[in-house]
Structure 1
Amino acid sequence: MQTVTEKLDRQAEKQRLGREMEFLQQGSFQYVYREGKIKAINEEEKEEPLEVASAGLSYDVVMLTREREDAPESLFVVFEGDTEVPCLIKHRLYAPENRKLKLVLGISYTKEHSDFQKIDAVGIDLPYAVAKGDRIDALFYLVSLSELKVKLVHKGMSVGECEFTLPESAAMPEEKAPESQKYPDFIEKEFAKANIIGTEQVKEELLKLNEQLKEERLQRNIEGEKHNYNFVLRGNPGTGKNVIAKVIAKILYENGIVKSETLVEADREKLVSDEAGETAKKTESVLAEVIEKHGTLYIDEAFRLYIKGNGKDHGREAIAAISKALEEHSGEFSVIISGAQSKIDEMLEKVNIGFTSKFEYSMDIPDYSSDELMTISELIMQSRSLFMSRAAKRAFANKLEKERSGESFLNVKTVRNILDEAEENKIVRLAELKKKNDYVSPEEFYILDKADFAESETEDKEISLEEKMARLQQMVGLADAKAKIKKIIASTRVVHELIKRGVRSKDEPVIMHMFFSGNEGTGKAAVARLLAGIYKDLKFLSQGQLVECRSEELLKGDVEEASETIRSKFDEAKGGLLFIEDSEPFINAASEELLEIFAENAVEYSADMMIVLSDTLDNLKKLLNEKPVLKKVFANNVNFADYTTAEMVVLAKAFIKAKGYVYDSANDKMLAKLIDKEKSETENFENVKGVRKVVKKLQKAAGARVAQASESDEDSKVSDVRAITGEDILACMM
């Protein structure tokens, strides 16, 4: 039996949709949303849906039209094959400039609709009350397997209607002979399960590995020799390394290398402890599980087991334990490690040679192209029963390209993050419409709009020297760093004034290069960007551009190759600031000649270029102690202290505001507790980066709260659709 509330809701729904249903002559119907369709159900059946004939369409009914005047004609599915009758759906169209709407109906038997067969075409003249770009709701009513009625509704009023006769049968396209499968099932299935496409290069390598191991299997059987089959996967985040690891584990199992296809996944958190003597126990426990099952161990971001410049880090104990197990249990299990190429190679170069030598197989995994990521996004959306409007697709593509040019691009992970954020924005957008008592149709909960991919934009304009200096001083925290930079600028001004007055020779170089010391996420790059502009306005530099690179890029290869790279990068940065991250390659540089070349060029270019070398304070001290030749290059050090919790609260509030959310400062204490909790539970919180992650969690919590409130009609909570509340903070602390 229905409750009184359910009956009232049912009546309200009927009243709200009544005007759109007047054209149905067969009886009174109402909308019920099921499995992606709006099906018509006889109102007289209060308790159960109307029983309909089991017969359904044997083909897809497809409409060809223009969704916008400036858009090409495109196909959309009106009714899928097997649709039962009666059935009603609604599709959104937009009025063309000449108010002449063209609908071409056809049928198709294939998913791609390449066999589209035209049935009929109708032109509908829209009334003058309809303006260009106005939304038109096209209501398609499948009366029977042969009769289709269409009605166009604009702002609740009928503006046109037509009928189509559907064929009982149509010519089926000739079936093509199935193509022979290129890759084994265990390769294809894992990639399909993870919605990964466009990995032909990787699949080819996996296929070759499979064939190679088949050949080696016979040799192993003859000689009875045990062999280590361990792998290094090099690739950026989000390139599907975990999926590839699963496929490799299956290949090893299929070819008798291991006795089980079990893949045990681990990372630094699972292997390393902060307490002395506990890391070996944690690692041995994971190894025991893998060895017992005769399977494969996969360590993601394995480079995190080796912390450069920290010989006391417990990660080295985990490496030693794994190396020992591979020695004592040779042939009983396999290990796969993965990470970004530069980081994983650096680790393998630095750690014990006994560990490195056990990884004979490697695979380089390329980034995805933009087209591949767009296709992956469609697969992800399909799995979530989501769709995009054309404008939304363009907005998504633009946002993806913007992310792609940034430093934190994560391939498929970035695609998922963008879609997650868009879904949250959609929930907020629809909740705001509901709050205004605007009609929201059921299918709109499954459509992402252009607005869902929007983000707050800051005007990118040239600002004055005074504004740049003010922005530097207004940066949160960094009191000592800002004071030191202010002194350095004043000192450099004096030197240039002395040159202008002839007191100091123009031929005497003015060295502006300096160290920025501090941990990750303390704003060093942001300050460098401002400093480049300040030095340009003060006419210390001619262009003021910021060029960023890592020291390993400069020092890679032999002396001749590295010398060319150094000059090329200095030419690129001439007139601006060259921001170099990581001093360790300088410390470990075997060639003193190369360091001399770097130092000479740094002095030569100093008339119109500034170098900032960024790393931790300990590493930079070590650099000057071990490579004194660089003392003549770097005259100053600016130290960037870690942010305090109070300063992180200020940063979080700024990020929340930039995202377009409202925040009540009365919740500052709770927010501080949340940040402290995240800091204590995260090994590398990384200051600003960690705060951004906290804000992202708060956004998700707010989205979940609004979604729950929308479902239960709790208006008080829906009213906070663009707010980060105390409730959201508490949800993140649970």
Structure 2
Amino acid sequence: MDKYGQALINSASKLDAVTDACGEITKMANAIVEDNSKAATITLLKKISDTVDSLKQQVEIKKLVQLVNSNLISYYGYNTLREICKPESTISEDDKSLEELLAELDSLVGLESVKSKVNDLIAYQKVQKLRREKGLYSAKNTLHLAFTGNPGTGKTTVARIIGRIYKKIGLLSKGHFVEVSRTDLIAGYQGQTALKVKKVINRARGGVLFIDEAYSITENDHSDSYGRECLTELTKALEDYRDDLVVIVAGYTVPMEKFFDSNPGLKSRFNSFIEFPDYDVKELKEILNTICTANDYVLDDMTKEKTTDFFQKKISEKEDNFANGRMVRNLYDDLVMNHAKRVVSMTNPSKEELSTIKIEDFFPTAEK
């Protein structure tokens, strides 16, 4: 959900609370954001008009009504512009062949155990599909996966590639990628969460539904009735749409174990569990060099030595939530910013000066 849609729903919920609308305004906002409902838009605008007409001295409520109206306009303006720009800015990923997608998977830095497991899964699913086509028995295993490990280890990237590969080998009809979190699945009113989950499932059918930090759905344990409602609906969908939907849940290893324990039928719906290991020093350096090369930057020799020391220090001090690739991206951003601060004062800097990151640029935020 984009920030304009979220702002509309948030302000609608506040207006609901102060006008005792019993969730009616929030329902209309949800229908607009999730279903692009024109009927809900007209009804909401009428509700806004009626509310303003019925108020006299209640200034705060009038301000809230105006905020909902403004957020509604911003939401439609943003989405209209996005649709206008989409045809020119979106490059179809369907043009890549299966061999190219497999090469893309293989080109990812590190993750050897992950790539081996994914390649095994692909080989197995291809053969099972061929067996079904020849009338042979094929085990009814689900396509759903669980990814565990620290952030920044490529879980989202691998999930995207799997969806496109599964489409190429005929396991998915679309292969598109839908990423959601707790906010996208759980509503603020009893009974609305199931509807919200169904809408997300319908949007993801034919492709991959990726739920990052999936354990947040049940983060409040048994006191969270909304989380239980979401999990019940999700578990049902995992079985009902197993033939044309891949659900991939991801998150830290220990909380994910608790997540699977929270619902008796949940773990059985997932056929494969893949652990994403942390990167070592060599792999972190390779990721940084790849980012630099892609953006026309190079590190001088002293900076390369400094980054080696930096990564070794970070690994020796790492805790359970080691940031991996995200740490590398943050370091790259710091290096480029410090490089810019140094070079901007030069008179007519050369191409080499504009592209070379030196040791004096190495002041990462993480060390301050």
Question: Given the two structures, how large is their TM-score scaled by the length of structure 1?
Answer: 0.35
Q: Sort the Cα spacing of 1:596 and 1:704 in 2 relative to 1 into closer, same or farther, 3 A.
A: closer
Q: What SS does structure 2 have at the residue aligned with 1:608?
A: coil
1:675–1:694 CA contact under 8 A, matched in 2: no
Instruction: Find the counterpart in structure 2 of residue 267 from structure 1.
Output: none
Whole-angstrom distance in 2 between the partners of 1:730 and 1:528: 34
Task: Give the Å deviation of 1:533.
Answer: 0.4
Which protein has the bigger helix share?
2
Whole-angstrom distance in 1 between the partners of 2:233 and 2:344: 61
Q: Sort the Cα spacing of 1:681 and 1:596 in 2 relative to 1 into closer, same or farther, 3 A.
A: closer
Whole-angstrom distance in 2 between the partners of 1:728 and 1:643: 24
1:508-549 deviation digits (Å, cap 9, x = unpaired)? 754100101111111111111111100000110000100011
1:511–1:606 CA contact under 8 A, matched in 2: yes
Whole-angstrom distance in 2 between the partners of 1:682 and 1:624: 26
Whole-angstrom distance in 2 between the partners of 1:615 and 1:480: 18
Q: What SS does structure 2 have at the residue aligned with 1:660?
A: coil
Q: Percent sequence identity over matched residues? A: 27
Task: Give the Å deviation of 1:552.
Answer: 4.6
Task: Give the Å deviation of 1:571.
Answer: 0.7
Are residue 720 (structure 1) and residue 353 (structure 2) matched?
A: yes
1:509–1:607 CA contact under 8 A, matched in 2: no
The match for 1:605 among 217, 221, 241 is 241
In structure 2, the gaps of 5 or more residues are 1-10, 15-63, 75-80
Task: Give the Å deviation of 1:731.
Answer: 8.5
Q: Sort the Cα spacing of 1:516 and 1:522 in 2 relative to 1 into closer, same or farther, 3 A.
A: same
Whole-angstrom distance in 1 between the partners of 2:196 and 2:257: 26
Whole-angstrom distance in 2 between the partners of 1:731 and 1:595: 41
Q: Sort the Cα spacing of 1:594 and 1:703 in 2 relative to 1 into closer, same or farther, 3 A.
A: closer
Instruction: Find the counterpart in structure 1 of residue 281 from structure 2.
Output: 645
2:303–2:357 CA contact under 8 A, matched in 1: no
1:361-389 deviation digits (Å, cap 9, x = unpaired)? xx9x99x99x99xxxxxxxxxxxxxxxxx
Task: Give the Å deviation of 1:472.
Answer: 0.6
Point out the more displaced range, 677-686 or 643-652: 677-686
Q: What SS does structure 2 have at the residue aligned with 1:498?
A: helix
1:579–1:613 CA contact under 8 A, matched in 2: yes
Whole-angstrom distance in 1 between the partners of 2:165 and 2:300: 35
Alignment of 1:485-504 (within 5 A): 485-504=118-137
Instruction: Find the counterpart in structure 1 of residue 159 from structure 2.
Output: 528
2:176–2:204 CA contact under 8 A, matched in 1: yes
Q: What SS does structure 1 have at the residue aligned with 2:344?
A: helix
Task: Give the Å deviation of 1:669.
Answer: 2.3
Whole-angstrom distance in 1 between the partners of 2:150 and 2:326: 11
Are residue 698 (structure 1) and residue 335 (structure 2) matched?
A: yes
2:148–2:275 CA contact under 8 A, matched in 1: yes
1:559–1:594 CA contact under 8 A, matched in 2: no
1:19-62 deviation digits (Å, cap 9, x = unpaired)? xxxxxxxxxxxxxxxxxxxxxxxxxxxxxxxxxxxxxxxxxxxx
Instruction: Find the counterpart in structure 2 of residue 325 from structure 1.
Output: none
Whole-angstrom distance in 1 between the partners of 2:183 and 2:169: 32
Instruction: Find the counterpart in structure 2 of residue 463 from structure 1.
Output: 96
Instruction: Find the counterpart in structure 2 of residue 539 from structure 1.
Output: 170
Task: Give the Å deviation of 1:551.
Answer: 3.4
1:596–1:629 CA contact under 8 A, matched in 2: no
Whole-angstrom distance in 1 between the partners of 2:362 and 2:120: 41
2:198–2:233 CA contact under 8 A, matched in 1: no
Q: Kindly report the root-mean-square deviation, in angstroms, between the aligned alpha carbons of the 2 structures.
A: 3.8
Task: Give the Å deviation of 1:657.
Answer: 1.5
1:651–1:691 CA contact under 8 A, matched in 2: yes
Instruction: Find the counterpart in structure 1 of residue 266 from structure 2.
Output: 630
Q: What SS does structure 1 have at the residue aligned with 2:288?
A: helix
- Runs (4 or more) in structure 1 with deviation over 4 Å come to 457-461, 589-594, 664-667, 676-685, 730-734
The match for 2:117 among 484, 490, 494 is 484
2:338–2:363 CA contact under 8 A, matched in 1: no
1:674–1:729 CA contact under 8 A, matched in 2: no
1:471-522 deviation digits (Å, cap 9, x = unpaired)? 11110111111111111212222222221121237xx754100101111111
Question: Given the two structures, how large is their TM-score scaled by the length of structure 2?
Answer: 0.66
Task: Give the Å deviation of 1:682.
Answer: 9.2
The match for 2:147 among 495, 516, 519 is 516
Which protein has the bigger strand share?
1
Aligned residue pairs: how many?
A: 285
1:54-99 deviation digits (Å, cap 9, x = unpaired)? xxxxxxxxxxxxxxxxxxxxxxxxxxxxxxxxxxxxxxxxxxxxxx
Task: Give the Å deviation of 1:667.
Answer: 4.3
In structure 1, the gaps of 5 or more residues are 1-201, 206-362, 373-400, 406-456
Alignment of 1:76-155 (within 5 A): none
Whole-angstrom distance in 1 between the partners of 2:301 and 2:131: 50
Are residue 660 (structure 1) and residue 293 (structure 2) matched?
A: no
Residue identity matched to 2:212: E
Q: Sort the Cα spacing of 1:701 and 1:676 in 2 relative to 1 into closer, same or farther, 3 A.
A: farther
Pair member with larger Rg: 1
2:151–2:323 CA contact under 8 A, matched in 1: yes
Alignment of 1:201-216 (within 5 A): none
Task: Give the Å deviation of 1:632.
Answer: 2.3
Whole-angstrom distance in 1 between the partners of 2:275 and 2:154: 11
